[in-house]
Amino acid sequence: MQRIPLIAGNWKMHTSLAEARNLAAAVVSVCKGLTDREVMIAPPFTALATVAEVVRGSGVRLAAQNICWEEQGAFTGEIAPGMLRELGCDMAIIGHSERRHIFGESDALVNQRMAGAMRFGITPIFCFGETLAEREGGQTMAVLERQIRAGLADIAVVDPTRLVLAYEPVWAIGTGKTASDHQAQEAHEFVRNLLLEMYEKSIARQIRILYGGSVNSGNVDALLRQPDIDGALVGGAALKVDSFERIIHFRQ
Ligand code: PGA
């Protein structure tokens, strides 16, 4: 079984309701007839309900940008898995570097979110990646291993299509500096081997690993040509339909 490439747009804290509706409609229209790849968009929470209506029945998948592990209760500022499911949203970005670095989310907290998502049938896009100082200090693989082993601790995977990983070097996010194809593939291969240690081999081989960090219409083809890169998590370039369309239509 082949891994189906996934192109995921992370809108972060952008878009008014009207902008979200228009952008989602444009994404739906450029995705018509696509069968060999999946497309997902993650609008801000405020636009999820609106975008859900636009993407319904189109095949474009909807994700939240974070998720709580509890069903309900006194968790001010958090969104429960059931609230997302009610909207037809069955994916969530977890452990994004902005959550980790700006909002102080630890590996342990990220693991809690992962467990919650899996328990309630939400497919996580589990993000991890090294900082520039860590890369320059030769610690990249050690950092990735720590984040992955901690983030996926006690997470059982039965259906490999229900867990997505995203390698996002912190120094490449929103900076215009992309990891070279070689740097990205090296990290992805390392992650794949780690998954092979952690999970049954047939499962580990099927788990998709996306690359994220300044992916754009110019670099997407070369990145996605790498054997262990199974898609892209796209920030800035997902906010404009022209660039996102070109990324969706990457050529391998
Ligand atoms: P970027 O963001 O494409 O703007 O670098 C990627 C991400 O943060 O997911």
- Closest ligand 1 atom number to CA of residue 237: 3
Residue 226 confidence class, pLDDT cut points 50, 70, 90: very high
Residue range 6-248, CATH number: 3.20.20.70
Q: What's the gap in Å between 10 CA and the centre of ligand 1?
A: 7
- Closest ligand 1 atom number to CA of residue 234: 3
- 14 is annotated as an active-site residue: no
Domain-wise residue ranges, the chain: 6-248
The per-residue pLDDT for 2 is 87
**Pocket test residue of 233, 239, 246 for ligand 1, highest count of atoms within 8 A of CB:** 233
- Closest ligand 1 atom number to CA of residue 238: 3
As a three-state string, the secondary structure of the chain is CCCCCEEEEECCCCCCHHHHHHHHHHHHHHCCCCCCCEEEEECCHHHHHHHHHHHCCCCCEEEECCCCCCCCCCCCCCCCHHHHHHCCCCEEEECCHHHHHCCCCCHHHHHHHHHHHHHCCCEEEEEECCCHHHHHCCCHHHHHHHHHHHHCCCCCCCCHHHCEEEECCHHHCCCCCCCCHHHHHHHHHHHHHHHHHHCCHHHHCCCEEEEECCCCCCCHHHHHCCCCCCEEEECHHHCCHHHHHHHHCCCC
Give 92-135 pLDDT, tens digit per residue.
Answer: 999 999 999 999 999 999 999 999 999 999 999 999 999 999 99
The whole-number average pLDDT for the span 46-68 is 98
pLDDT at 218 over 90: yes
- Closest ligand 1 atom number to CA of residue 93: 9
Q: What's the gap in Å between 174 CA and the centre of ligand 1?
A: 5
pLDDT at 57 over 80: yes
Give 70-82 pLDDT, tens digit per residue.
Answer: 999 999 999 999 9
Ligand 1 proximal residues by C-beta, below 6 Å: 10, 168, 173-174, 212-215, 233-237
Q: What's the gap in Å between 210 CA and the centre of ligand 1?
A: 12
Ligand 1, atom 7, lies closest to the CA of 235
Among the listed residues 38, 105, 130, 168, the single catalytic one is 168
Q: What's the gap in Å between 216 CA and the centre of ligand 1?
A: 10
- 101 is annotated as an active-site residue: no
Give 133-153 pLDDT, tens digit per residue.
Answer: 999 999 999 999 999 999 999
pLDDT at 1 over 80: no
